[in-house]
Every structure is written in C-alpha cells, then in structure tokens.
Structure 1
C-alpha cells in the first residue's frame, strides 16, 4: 500500500462517513443506485431520494418491472433526467442479461446504460472489493491539489494525468474503504471553497498546499456565455380545474417527462389554443421564469388559459392527461413544470 493510501485510510478509520443509507447494508444494487444518484448531485440532496427509491424498488427486478413514469415521478426534482431513464434501462438489462445480478467485471459494468468508467470502478471497488480507481469530482480535486496538476480536468490531457495518479494510489487491499475515503476527503476537508488544509491527513505531501494557493487547483472551466432560448408554456385548465399535460418524446430535454404544451414566443396564444384545444374564457400571463440547463438558459413565459366547457379535441390519450392538482397522479415532471403547478395550486387556494 502506498503511503498516500496508508494516510488516507488511517484518517478514514477515525473520520470517514460510515452511516450513509447505502452503506447499511452494502449491496451491488444499493451501491449502483447511490452512485448514479450522486453523479453531479450532493449527498444531502440524494439521501431522501435514495430512501424513497429503495422503499419502492427493493432490487433490480422490481425496478425493471416498474413503468418508466413511476421511476421518473420518484426522480422528479433530482435533475439530469437521463440518469433516471438509464437507471430504468440498466435494471432491465441486468435482469435480462445477467439474471438479476449486477456483474462485477469492469468491462461488463461499462456496457450497462448510464455507467461510465468511474461509476463502474466505484461499483467494483465498493460492492465487490476490487482494486479499481475512481475519478469523480471530489477525487479530481484531491489529486489535482496533491500533485499540483494544472489546468481544467475537462481537458483530455489533464484528465488523463489525473487518471494515472488515481490508479497509482489505488491500494490492493481495503478497496471499498479507500474509495469511500478519497471521496469523503474531497467532500469534507478538501472542498472547493475553504479547504481545511491544516487538519488534512495529506497535507505533508500536498504540493498545492506548499504553493499557499490550494484553491487554484484544479483549474477552472473556461467561462462560456450561455445562449438564451425562449418559449411560451400554455397552462390550460378545464372547468373542473384540471390542467392539460403532454408527455415529451423519450429523448432530448426532459425526455419522457410530462410538461405543458409549448408555442414559440410571439405567437398568438389565444388563437393557437382556440384552434388546437378549445375556446378561451380567460387568459393570464405570468412573469417570465428562467430555467438553466448546462448549455443554455430557457426563459419560460407561462400563460394560464381557462377553457370554456367541453373543450374540443382534448380527450385523454397515452401522451396527454388532465392533471388533478388535488389528487395528482404519479407522473415525472420537469422541475419548472412542478414549480408552476405548485404556484397554480397556491393561487387557487388564495382565490377560494
């Protein structure tokens, strides 16, 4: 075992996180589920979602058999919904191709939907005690600082260098503890802002600490001005107060989720609604709200339209539903859609 691993494991024995929900018990299913949820998401945010998921779906078989809508509904609010769709596909593939048991081989793991190199290594090391190095965001930060690796980790040359260090330090024993330890170090001491260098077990050999500017590592992502897209969302209510939702295509932004009908900014909402859905009794425009994706901002102009009785052409179908605010069905909703529905319900209560 390298001195790096020795020091890290000694620190972990006294200070590591050992009471996270997915650690009791540790199973391949629970490790996989937690690792997918933890991609680009903080532990504190993930915990309640994880607990709801395992309460509903105890293993690969129950998750594989569930309707995608049910999976997306439980995922609502966690973001990056491709993870939920891949989660569902992965469970189905594990059942169909591996008899319901998660494979332990790295190459087989990487063939499963939603599992890349680092996630596969996390599953292999934590669930199966294999010496497979990971490189998530926390680990990149720890290694970039310890070795003073300059540059943004998203750059291929920097990324490759960090992988080399990750594999160099990976011990052959206590693989599970080491993987958890290096993640914990990045999450609790070697944080992005205000790293606690004076109590860090790696301070003796840390090159970034010697520079006196540990926060300079790793290098920041080059700033990019995000483009802005605009759309009008049509919040249409029938006389019973139910709201029309449409299911989005399975791929693309909010794939498979339920949302409001949309039209381009500047289009005549009332004429469009009358032509497509029915006559409008009353129409209200709400303030524009912004939702930011990784590659652009989306400015949403909500338009609330109360339809006259017996709206035309809007029978429920597989891809559309009248959403009851008082007893909402279990549907996967995009975050801004959920927010708008909540606001609509609050306004209804105030009006009563």
Structure 2
C-alpha cells in the first residue's frame, strides 16, 4: 500500500540529496566547493544558461568549453568579432541567442564595468535575458532567492502537487508552486537541485520514484499519476516550407557563401545563397552557371516548421563574378562554421 502525501516538500530534504548527488557540470560550482566559500562566476552561469535554452547538457558541454577557452571573460567576449562568435555557435541552433549573447556581453562590459548586475530587475533589462534566465543568474550566481522554473522544474512541480492543468496553461500555476518551495537559505544550490532532480530522477519517462527525496510528499506518487504528468496540450501540426540552396564552387576550390540578414532565422550566419522559404520558392541563382539539381533534399526542422531544401550545385570558372555573396578561399572555409541546415546541404553536395 502506498504512503500518502502528508506534507509540503521540504527544501532541506532536497538539498541533502543534492549534496550527495549533484551533477558535475563544467559551469557549476558544486555544493562542497560552495560550502567552502567558492563563488560561482556570473559570466559562466550566464553563458551556460543561454547555451542550455532548448538544448541538452550533452550538446552544450563542448561548446561551453570552447567558448570559455577562447573568451574566458565577458570583456573578452564583448571584444570578439561578430562573425567569429556566430561561427563558434554554429550547430547550437536558435541563432538569435548568439546575436543577443554578443549584445549582452557588450552592455555588461560597457555599461556595468564588466560585472553582471546582482539584482533581478536589472538583469531583466539586459539583451537576451528573460524571466527564467534572470532568475537563474540571480539565484545561482548571487544566492538571491528567486524562483527558477525550467522544463525540469515544471515536471517536478506538476507531479509533487498532482497538477493536471495542461501546459502551457499550467505554467503560472507551476511557477506559483515552485515559489512556495524556494528557500531563503542556499537558493542557488536549491535551484540547481530541483533541476537535477528533474533531469536524473523525476524524468519524463519511468521516473525513479524509489530514489526521490520528495517521494513521501509527492501527491502524484500517492495517486499513481506520475507517468501522465505533466499534461500537455496537443501540438499543432508543423507546416512544411520549401526552398532552394545554391552551392557554387570555383575551380580553385573556393565556395560561394553569403551572410544572412541579422534579423530572422539564422540571422548573421554564413550560408548558401538561396531562395525564400515558402510554399512555392522562385529560382534565384546567385551566379550564372550550369546548375545540377541533386536527387536528395536537405531537410531540417525548426521550432515552427519543417524545411525541405532543393540543393543545386555548380562548378564555375575563376573569372565568373557572383551577383550575391562572395567566394571563400579554401583555407578559410570551415563547414563546421555553417548552421546545421547549411551543413546538411553541403554534405549532400559532397556526396553528389
């Protein structure tokens, strides 16, 4: 027979669990080090939180190491060339984050003397920092008892309180629940503890309830509803957009690329010249050439739509000038600097 949920979860129980089981993450000051007085670096906290938005820890580790090795401080990042940062970000997706990363670094460097502000309200005024990120920086970097709610925390709260309102409508309800539990003591460790609980124990499928420090206080565990929470509203079907990508290579091996406009998808990134993306894209070759259409499309899924790119390739002579873009010499061309969808088109061209 199940025990029944008999009290509000105790932050102390979760912190005790975190002290023993905290994940070892490259941007984190662990609980033992924090207890010794080691303070988190707000720059590393901020950078990790921006990188982790809609991305997994596994995907972010190498990027975080590369960024902090190349730009170890916010001032160093602020002084970086835009193109270098966008290239280093390639593959992480959601490229508006990279543009805002630079904007924020420059504001912190120029307007705040290279120090991230400690208070939540000022953090919210920085480029690219929304309510979640501001709360996470304030709590983790400065031990300000802010309520930090990401997807992991939403799942934990939905189960602990047996909340059946579907997401996203449940977000304010779950945030209110989370606020009730946020302690004044060790709020930075607590914020990371709840996220760790969701990532390692209270997982989307097959939660390990037997190992959970909050099991006896969990209303969903008492009711046997853990597996069905959090509820989610049905997702709308994503539309499909079509486009054309033109991959022109000069006889000396240089590739024709163009930088996309700062605003919009893949803003500021280098990519292949192409058509608009829509229902019926019109031909828009960037240079006069005999274009060969590959039999396979480059397919990629963005947040709101699926993209199918027809890939066209051509070999052009040295004296042929493009109407759009510029040729990148072989030593300067790095496919890894391209956004994922552009790399997919390049891979097809290499095979075709």
Partner residue in 2 for 1:79? 93
Partner residue in 1 for 2:298? 289
Greater CA deviation, 50-59 or 326-335? 326-335
Greater CA deviation, 300-309 or 322-331? 322-331
Which of 191, 194, 216 is 1:204 aligned to?
216
2: CA distance, partners of 1:313 / 1:45: 36
Contact 2:156 2:198 in 1 (8 A): yes
> Taking structure 1 as reference, are residues 266 and 6 closer, same or farther at Cα in structure 2, changes over 3 Å only?
closer
Matched, 1:41 2:46: no
1: CA distance, partners of 2:282 / 2:102: 39
Partner residue in 2 for 1:141? 155
Contact 2:243 2:281 in 1 (8 A): no
> Taking structure 1 as reference, are residues 285 and 210 closer, same or farther at Cα in structure 2, changes over 3 Å only?
same
Residue-pair matches, total: 334
2: CA distance, partners of 1:261 / 1:116: 33
State the 1:263 CA deviation. Answer: 2.6
Partner residue in 1 for 2:139? 125
State the 1:57 CA deviation. Answer: 0.5
2: CA distance, partners of 1:279 / 1:255: 27
State the 1:198 CA deviation. Answer: 1.4
1: CA distance, partners of 2:281 / 2:186: 62
> Taking structure 1 as reference, are residues 256 and 331 closer, same or farther at Cα in structure 2, changes over 3 Å only?
farther
Which of 162, 170, 178 is 2:182 aligned to?
170
Which of 50, 53, 60 is 2:74 aligned to?
60
> Taking structure 1 as reference, are residues 229 and 330 closer, same or farther at Cα in structure 2, changes over 3 Å only?
closer
Partner residue in 2 for 1:111? 125
Note the alpha carbon deviations across 1:48-79, whole angstroms, 9 max, x for none: 10000000111111111111111111111111
TM-score (norm 2): 0.89
TM-score (norm 1): 0.89
Partner residue in 2 for 1:251? 263
Contact 1:72 1:331 in 2 (8 A): no
Alignment of 1:328-347 (within 5 A): 328=333, 332-345=337-350
Partner residue in 2 for 1:184? 196
SS in 2 for 1:124: helix
2: CA distance, partners of 1:197 / 1:98: 45
State the 1:343 CA deviation. Answer: 4.3
Partner residue in 2 for 1:350? none
Contact 2:294 2:349 in 1 (8 A): no
Matched, 1:10 2:16: yes
Q: CA RMSD in A?
A: 2.1
Contact 1:70 1:331 in 2 (8 A): no
Flag structure 2 segments of 5+ consecutive residues without an equivalent: 1-7, 30-38
Partner residue in 1 for 2:168? 154
2: CA distance, partners of 1:144 / 1:268: 48
Note the alpha carbon deviations across 1:232-253, whole angstroms, 9 max, x for none: 1111111112221111110101
Greater CA deviation, 328-337 or 198-207? 328-337
State the 1:278 CA deviation. Answer: 2.3
2: CA distance, partners of 1:209 / 1:3: 13
SS in 2 for 1:263: coil
Contact 1:290 1:299 in 2 (8 A): yes
Contact 1:73 1:333 in 2 (8 A): yes
